[in-house]
């Protein structure tokens, strides 16, 4: 089975981000259909004709998006008609639906929109509840051509209500499940070495296929396990087994799965242990509090945060000593310690987290380098401070520090 | 001139949004180069080989992204080598750069990363300041092949510092300039109505072309003015004239241009007026402080932030009265007022900003609806509180509230 998506629209080739392809490929994956290629092409008749004809030769299923509008540069219908030899025929029901769409808005239907009521000979209609252009499904020489409009908000209901059930009925033999493991604290190459033995084994289970991909972000590395097959129980088992293998080598570096974030993982742990938390931030400027409070229900354990962006604020709010600031400077292990202990004490929480560092882009006036940071954690068991040296832009460094701080907290909870 | 972008990565065919293609095509447009086709293909040797060979036949310039990593599924180098017949040769300088990259992090270079120091015979290096994979530029049979890594943050400086200057020197015929105006506080449909008269006029200047696009985000609307032509002075003049027309109708709803953010615009204003600021956040959970401190140099005016995520914290840290909390509840105009005045007073700043509301997903226990928020601003001229009712997810509502708060501050500074 070979599947291609063709995205049509000149705007996609001068800087507009294409989200339709990601949406469609993700939805197809849920019914075990895998996209082999995605092609973006402008509103240009000869170009599109080439792309479509080549794609038609290679593919069992082609899904196009865009070019179904009423204007002169909407050329998908005409091009597909020419390439397939299927005539375009006026469909009176579609014309009526489009006129009604305008009537509801108390606007006379512009003449141009009539164009949208032409269907390829033999095509079925994909109703469009949010726009004037209906989609079309054409079966031909045991190939399937699906035409969809461009706007993502129109595509989504059309895909879910019509295209997906149609394809499911027609093709679902297989299933595909995806499991994502999120790691933090290890470089991509280190992860790769550690998991090499797992991903290099050829795994064959009757009718099932296994693949992996690694996605490195600046705050961590994700591992994606993709298993397809026909037997849901076998697929689930395979995922469970593979998960176990990854956990065996990566252990606590895996902080969560699928939609979990580091802050939601931390939230679950702290809630389970019935502990509370307060944060004193300098260089991260509120980002740790922001991330913690992105989790619904975080007020159960997150009590308060203070962003002390000046020496006087560190002294007045957290009780950091003048002496410590003078002797070691604001970016120091000693100040991080006093900040963490200070916020824990005034908030009356079980944990106090602190950050003090140089987010950049300029080094400190005393010559401390960009990316240097001290992260403190005060708990009922005492206070620890860790030193890190990060790289990147100001925003990236803030991200990395916040991630490291959340991870230190996590490690104190497991 | 035929230009194609090939994006390589299986994750792009199972639901990950591809932003590289938009970035590259937009940058190429600025030097008058137009992308004809974009193709996404998985980490699959035969598939990629087909795609690359076909593309190589059609194109004058091919730019690939992805597949330059150190892992088993990074196959771009090998595929291009096979398709072009150019050998892969170990480059000792690149190997040294990669080893140094790891040395700086005090990690031994994993064996796998050696793979990244192989260059196609005759290729030039595109230095990568943010990752281990360098890019490559290969000229062959008067065609140009450019290999870039996958991560957007690595691509951007590589493209701007090396690829764009290289292509500019080689190809520049026409020019294209883009001016972006950022607005806040008006719905897309309102903006659309207000600017209709400007964008509907056909503008023809000798050899130049003008177009517009509108991008609505959940925190504001951007207007993009795109002018192309051959005469730089004419283009600049056209942009200046158009800008003036947009400012005439949208006035202060425009907060900045191009790379400016709302927080950097606010920063410039407050710095110019030599004022200082502190923030007391409840429902935004630190996001306002985080956004303000994303701006380099913000410590000049941002003194401190407090995230009071509980009643006791509001009382103890900001001096909000027990009586006020009991009578009106934490989410009330009265509490927002006391929070703003409290933070201004204890921080000794010119402005105190406060937020208290329901970020969701659940309404408050007293039945106050999700999205209800009160934003307070205390200044030397007195205190004002505004009530808003926002919609969206928890994260979107936090974003909208933070944006509204920053905008209120901005309005108090102009």
**CA dihedral over A378, A388, A396, A223, signed as positive or negative:** negative
Q: Which two tokens stand for residue B103?
A: 């040395």
E-state strands within A267-410: 277-281, 302-308, 351-357, 372-379, 382-389
* pLDDT value at residue B173: 63
CA-to-CA distance for B280 and B341, rounded, in angstroms?
10
- Using CB atoms, pick whichever of B23, B37, B110 lies closest to residue A190: B110
Residues of chain A with Cβ-Cβ distance to B14 below 8 Å are 25-26, 29, 34-35, 178, 226
ipTM for the predicted complex: 0.77
Chain A closest-CA separation from residue B135 CA (Å): 18
Structure-derived torsion over alpha carbons of residues A85, A89, A91, A92, reported in degrees to the nearest 10:
180
CA-to-CA distance for A71 and A54, rounded, in angstroms?
26
The nearest alpha carbon in chain B to A24 belongs to: B15
Chain A closest-CA separation from residue B309 CA (Å): 5
Stretches in chain B below the pLDDT threshold 70: 172-174, 204-206
Which residue in this structure is represented by tokens 């009106």? B328
- Using CB atoms, pick whichever of B226, B296, B307 lies closest to residue A394: B296
Which residue in this structure is represented by tokens 């087909």? B50
- Pick among A15, A46, A178 to test the B interface (most B CBs inside 10 A): A15
Burial of residue A41 (CB within 10 Å: 0-12, 13-18, 19+) is buried
Q: Which two tokens stand for residue B363?
A: 């309404």
CA-to-CA distance for B289 and B301, rounded, in angstroms?
12
Integer-rounded Cα Rg, in Å, for chain A is: 28
CA-to-CA distance for A113 and A103, rounded, in angstroms?
13
- The enclosing H or E element of A274 equals none
CB contact under 8 A, A299 and B309: yes
Chain A closest-CA separation from residue B381 CA (Å): 24
Stretches in chain A below the pLDDT threshold 70: 172-174, 204-206
For A213, how many CA atoms within 13 A lie in the half-sphere containing its CB? 20
* pLDDT value at residue B143: 92
DSSP A67-126: --SSSTT--HHHHHHHHHTPPEEE-HHHHHHHHHHHHHTT-PPPGGGGGGGEEETTPEEE
Q: How far apart are the first and last CA of chain B?
A: 49
Chain B closest-CA separation from residue A309 CA (Å): 5
pLDDT tens digits for B14-30?
A: 888 899 999 999 999 88
- Pick among A14, A301, A348, A356 to test the B interface (most B CBs inside 10 A): A14
CB contact under 8 A, A36 and B47: yes
Among the residues of A210-309, which ranges form H helices?
Answer: 232-250, 262-272, 287-293
Residue A383 Cα to chain centre, angstroms: 36
Q: Which of B117, B25, B22 is nearest to B70 (CA)?
A: B117
| DSSP-derived secondary structure letter, A304 | E
Beta bridge partners of B354: B280, B376
Residues of chain B with Cβ-Cβ distance to A279 below 8 Å are 307
The nearest alpha carbon in chain B to A358 belongs to: B296
- Using CB atoms, pick whichever of A22, A216, A398 lies closest to residue B15: A22
Specify the 3-state DSSP secondary structure of A277: strand
* pLDDT value at residue A173: 62
Residues of chain A with Cβ-Cβ distance to B299 below 8 Å are 309-310
Q: Which of A144, A118, A134, A123 is nearest to A60 (CA)?
A: A144
CB contact under 8 A, B299 and A292: no
Chain B closest-CA separation from residue A302 CA (Å): 7
**CA dihedral over A201, A205, A209, A210, signed as positive or negative:** negative
* pLDDT value at residue B171: 76
Chain A closest-CA separation from residue B23 CA (Å): 6
CA-to-CA distance for A363 and A342, rounded, in angstroms?
26
Whether the bond into A361 is cis, omega within 30 of 0 = yes
Contact (Cβ atoms closer than 8 angstroms) between residue A403 and residue A390: no
Q: How many CB atoms are closer than 10 A to CB A164?
A: 17
* pLDDT value at residue B266: 98
- The enclosing H or E element of B157 equals helix B152-158
* pLDDT value at residue B205: 65
| DSSP-derived secondary structure letter, B159 | I
Residues of chain A with Cβ-Cβ distance to B394 below 8 Å are 294, 296
| DSSP-derived secondary structure letter, A251 | G
Cα angle: B400, vertex B405, B409; to 5 degrees: 145
Residues of chain B with Cβ-Cβ distance to A286 below 8 Å are 281, 286-290, 292-293, 305, 307
CB contact under 8 A, B15 and A23: yes
- Using CB atoms, pick whichever of A192, A200, A316 lies closest to residue B70: A192
Residues of chain B with Cβ-Cβ distance to A13 below 8 Å are 25, 34-38
Range A377-403 burial, b when 16+ CB lie within 10 A, else e: bbbeeebbbeebebbbbbbbbbbbbbb
Largest distance between two CA atoms of chain B: 81
CB contact under 8 A, A303 and B310: yes
CB contact under 8 A, A187 and B307: no
Contact (Cβ atoms closer than 8 angstroms) between residue B242 and residue B250: no
Q: Which of B207, B189, B83, B206 is nearest to B141 (CA)?
A: B83
CB contact under 8 A, B25 and A18: no
Domains and CATH numbers, chain A: 3-171 (3.40.980.10), 175-257 (3.30.70.2860), 262-411 (3.90.950.20)
Residue A329 Cα to chain centre, angstroms: 40
Chain A closest-CA separation from residue B120 CA (Å): 22
The nearest alpha carbon in chain B to A349 belongs to: B313
pLDDT tens digits for B119-172?
A: 999 999 999 988 888 999 999 988 999 999 999 999 999 999 999 999 988 876
Q: How many CB atoms are closer than 10 A to CB B8?
A: 27
CB contact under 8 A, A310 and B303: yes
Cβ-Cβ pairs closer than 8 A, A with B, add up to: 251
Residues of chain A with Cβ-Cβ distance to B38 below 8 Å are 12-13, 39-41
- The enclosing H or E element of B88 equals strand B88-90
Q: What is the pTM of this model?
A: 0.77
- Using CB atoms, pick whichever of B38, B112, B304 lies closest to residue A307: B304
CA-to-CA distance for B204 and A170, rounded, in angstroms?
52
CA-to-CA distance for A41 and B384, rounded, in angstroms?
52
Burial of residue B362 (CB within 10 Å: 0-12, 13-18, 19+) is exposed
Chain B closest-CA separation from residue A116 CA (Å): 24
Chain A closest-CA separation from residue B200 CA (Å): 16
CB contact under 8 A, B285 and A287: no
Chain A closest-CA separation from residue B285 CA (Å): 5
Contact (Cβ atoms closer than 8 angstroms) between residue A175 and residue A230: yes
Residues of chain B with Cβ-Cβ distance to A196 below 8 Å are 72
| DSSP-derived secondary structure letter, B70 | S
CA-to-CA distance for A411 and A266, rounded, in angstroms?
9
**A32 phi/psi in degrees, rounded to 5:** 80, 15
Whether the bond into B361 is cis, omega within 30 of 0 = yes
Q: Which of B262, B283, B264, B280 is nearest to B272 (CA)?
A: B264
CB contact under 8 A, A226 and B14: yes
Q: Are strands B175-183 and B220-229 parallel, antiparallel or unpaired?
A: antiparallel
CA-to-CA distance for A166 and A158, rounded, in angstroms?
11
- The enclosing H or E element of B314 equals helix B311-318
Contact (Cβ atoms closer than 8 angstroms) between residue B341 and residue B321: no
CB contact under 8 A, A38 and B309: no
E-state strands within B152-283: 175-183, 209-217, 220-229, 254-257, 277-281
CB contact under 8 A, B290 and A398: yes
The nearest alpha carbon in chain A to B313 belongs to: A304
- Using CB atoms, pick whichever of B47, B113, B308 lies closest to residue A304: B308
Among the residues of A124-182, which ranges form H helices?
Answer: 152-158, 164-171
Range A142-161 burial, b when 16+ CB lie within 10 A, else e: eebbbbbbbbeebbeebbee
CA-to-CA distance for A207 and A205, rounded, in angstroms?
6
* pLDDT value at residue B211: 82
Chain A closest-CA separation from residue B26 CA (Å): 4
- CA dist A266 → A272, A406, A407, B264 (Å): 10, 7, 8, 31
* pLDDT value at residue A74: 87
Residues of chain A with Cβ-Cβ distance to B282 below 8 Å are none
Q: Which of B60, B404, B292 is nearest to A281 (CA)?
A: B292
CB contact under 8 A, B25 and A13: yes
CA-to-CA distance for A279 and B176, rounded, in angstroms?
48
The nearest alpha carbon in chain A to B113 belongs to: A189
Chain B closest-CA separation from residue A129 CA (Å): 20
CA-to-CA distance for B170 and B66, rounded, in angstroms?
24
Contact (Cβ atoms closer than 8 angstroms) between residue B270 and residue B295: no
Residues of chain A with Cβ-Cβ distance to B293 below 8 Å are 284-286, 307, 309, 359, 398
């Amino acid at each position: 089975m070979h599947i291609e998506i063709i995205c049509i629209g000149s705007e996609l080739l001068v800087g507009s981000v294409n989200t339709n392809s990601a949406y469609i490929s993700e939805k197809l994956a849920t019914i075990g259909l895998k996209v082999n290629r995605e092609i973006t092409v402008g509103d240009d008749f000869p170009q599109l004709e080439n792309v479509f004809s080549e794609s038609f030769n290679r593919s069992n299923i082609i899904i196009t998006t865009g070019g179904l509008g009423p204007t002169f540069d909407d050329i998908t219908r005409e091009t597909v008609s020419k390439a397939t030899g299927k005539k375009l025929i006026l469909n009176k029901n579609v014309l009526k639906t489009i006129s009604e769409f305008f009537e509801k808005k108390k606007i006379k239907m512009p003449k141009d929109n009539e164009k949208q009521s032409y269907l390829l000979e033999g095509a079925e209609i994909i109703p469009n509840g949010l726009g004037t252009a209906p989609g079309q499904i054409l079966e031909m020489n045991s190939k399937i051509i699906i035409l969809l409009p461009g706007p993502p908000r129109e595509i989504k209901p059309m895909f879910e209500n019509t295209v997906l059930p149609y394809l499911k009925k027609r093709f679902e033999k297989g299933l595909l499940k995806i499991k994502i493991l999120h790691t933090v604290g290890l470089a991509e190459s280190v992860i790769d070495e550690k998991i090499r033995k797992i991903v290099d084994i050829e795994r064959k289970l009757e009718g099932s296929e296994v693949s992996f991909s690694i996605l490195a972000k600046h705050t961590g590395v994700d591992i994606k396990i993709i298993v397809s097959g026909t037997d849901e129980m076998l697929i689930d088992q395979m995922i469970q087994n593979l998960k176990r293998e990854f956990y065996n080598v990566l252990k606590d570096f895996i902080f969560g799965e699928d939609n979990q974030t580091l802050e939601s993982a931390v939230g679950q742990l702290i809630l389970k242990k019935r502990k509370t938390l307060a944060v004193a931030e300098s260089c991260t400027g509120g980002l740790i509090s922001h991330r913690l409070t992105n989790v619904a229900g975080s007020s159960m354990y997150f009590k308060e945060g203070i962003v002390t962006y000046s020496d006087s604020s560190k002294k007045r709010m957290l009780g950091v000593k003048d002496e410590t600031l003078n002797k070691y400077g604001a970016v120091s292990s000693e100040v991080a310690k006093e900040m963490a202990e200070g916020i824990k004490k005034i908030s009356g929480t079980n944990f106090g987290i602190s950050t003090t560092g140089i987010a950049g882009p300029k080094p400190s006036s005393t010559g401390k380098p960009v990316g240097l940071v001290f992260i403190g954690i005060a708990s009922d068991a005492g206070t620890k401070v860790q030193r890190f040296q990060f790289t990147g832009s100001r925003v990236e460094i803030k991200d990395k520090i916040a991630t490291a701080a959340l991870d230190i907290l996590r490690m104190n909870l497991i």
